[in-house]
A and B are shown apart, each in its own frame.
Chain A
Amino acid sequence: MKSKAPLALMEQLVMVLVVALAAALCLQAFTLADQISRRNAEQGRALTQAQNAVEMLKNVHGDFEEAARLYGGTWNGLMWGWSLDEGWGIADGTVPLAYHVLVTPTDSAVPLLGTADVSVYTADGEQLCSLPAAWQEVDGDA
């Protein structure tokens, strides 16, 4: 009588291969889901940072220097920016930088209406979010 062992072995081998393929697909899906979840968390926090910058600009009527003094970061005459660490705290230079917020004034073409663009980037330069800011400027002649 001929043994059925080789057949059973082949069956199991095919089963292992199928499961290995399914496992590889599952791992790929897990990694993708993890990336999306991480990205969503980052975008949520980036949005709060951008909203804070917009609110601060409204509060100081577009005085970038005053905004930088109150909130943090630096204003170089062209843009207001600050860097954040992995935990979204304003970086003090002792920890690796993970995110950057840049606020760039834009031309609204409307008198007494100040506008700016607030963007948040990862350390790799990938944009997480962008928000337009608008505020009423103080009329110096008034």
Chain B
Amino acid sequence: MKNLRQKHHMDGLTALLLFGVLAVCILSVLLLGADAYRRLTERDQTTFDRRTAVQYLATKVRQADTAGAVTVTSFDGAVPPGESGTQSASGDTLLLTENIEGTPYCTRIYYYDGYIREVFGECGVEMLPEDGEKILEARGLLFDWDFDGSSAGPLQIEFIAADGTEERLILTLRSGGEAMP
């Protein structure tokens, strides 16, 4: 009688142990799945943001690529002085100019407060960096454009994604040297 009770006790323990293994197994798979899903979505989001930023900047420049319409400047519009011998423009803002019914309008693309932003308005009208429309989350955006008297070099864009990784984008303007600031 005592042996039989002991056997039943052991059976119960084994069943409990098996149930424990099952619970651990399910929990592990769930945790692994959640972690994998988090990593994938984060990576995919970063990839999407980076690719979108690159394509957005390239498209904006291509759309505005006419003589004198693309300029690198600072947000307040002051163009940094060129170096002696060659000219160079570095700045935090890409200024795209277009004429609409005889009035010049400016699109400024820049980084401010954690976002790439865009602001569109009549040239000469004072605007603040916080007025811009938030386009994409980022950590930084810089423009650099070297050119000498005869031809423009490539427009170089340094984009720092939200995860801190840097992306360098090179663009050659079809309007060439005439599109210099």
A residues near B (Cβ < 8 Å) are: 3, 5-6, 8-9, 12-13, 15-16, 19-20, 22-23, 26-27, 30, 33-34, 37-38, 40-41, 44-45, 47-48, 51-52, 55-56, 58-59, 70-71, 87-89
Please tell me which one of the listed residues B11, B15, B44, B170 contacts residue A56 in the complex, with CB atoms under 8 A apart: B170
Task: Give the dominant DSSP class at A's interface.
Answer: helix
Nearest 7 CB-CB pairings of A with B: A5-B11, A30-B36, A59-B172, A52-B170, A12-B18, A23-B29, A55-B170
* Selected contact of A3 from candidates B11, B14, B25, B154, CB within 8 Å: B11
Quick check: A52 and B169 within 8 Å, CB to CB? yes
Annotate B55-66 by CB proximity to A: 1 below 8 A, 0 otherwise: 000100000000
Do residues B33 and A30 form an inter-chain contact, with CB atoms below 8 A?
Answer: yes
Interface size range on B against A: 35 or more
Interface of B is mostly: helix
**Given A44-B50, A56-B170, A5 contacting B154 (CB threshold 8 A):** no
B residues near A38, Cβ cutoff 8 Å: 43
B11 contacts A6, C-beta separation under 8 Å: yes
Residue of B18, B47, B153, B165 touching A9 (CB-CB under 8 A) = B18
Mask of B14-36 contacts with A, CB within 8 angstroms, 1/0: 11001101100110110011001
Chain B neighbourhood of A41, CB < 8 A:
43-44, 46-47
Q: Which residue of B lies closest to A16 (CB)?
A: B22
Asked if A8 contacts B40 (CB within 8 A), the reply is no
Residues in B neighbouring A87, C-beta threshold 8 A: 165
User: Which residues of A sit under 8 angstroms from B29, Cβ to Cβ?
Assistant: 19, 22-23, 26-27
CA distance A52 to B167 in the complex (A): 11
Instruction: Pull 30 A–B residue pairs with CB atoms less than 8 Å apart, ordered by A.
Output: A3-B8, A3-B11, A12-B18, A12-B19, A12-B22, A13-B18, A15-B22, A16-B18, A20-B25, A22-B29, A23-B25, A26-B33, A30-B33, A33-B36, A33-B40, A34-B36, A37-B39, A37-B43, A37-B44, A41-B46, A41-B47, A47-B51, A51-B58, A52-B168, A52-B170, A55-B170, A59-B170, A70-B153, A71-B170, A87-B165
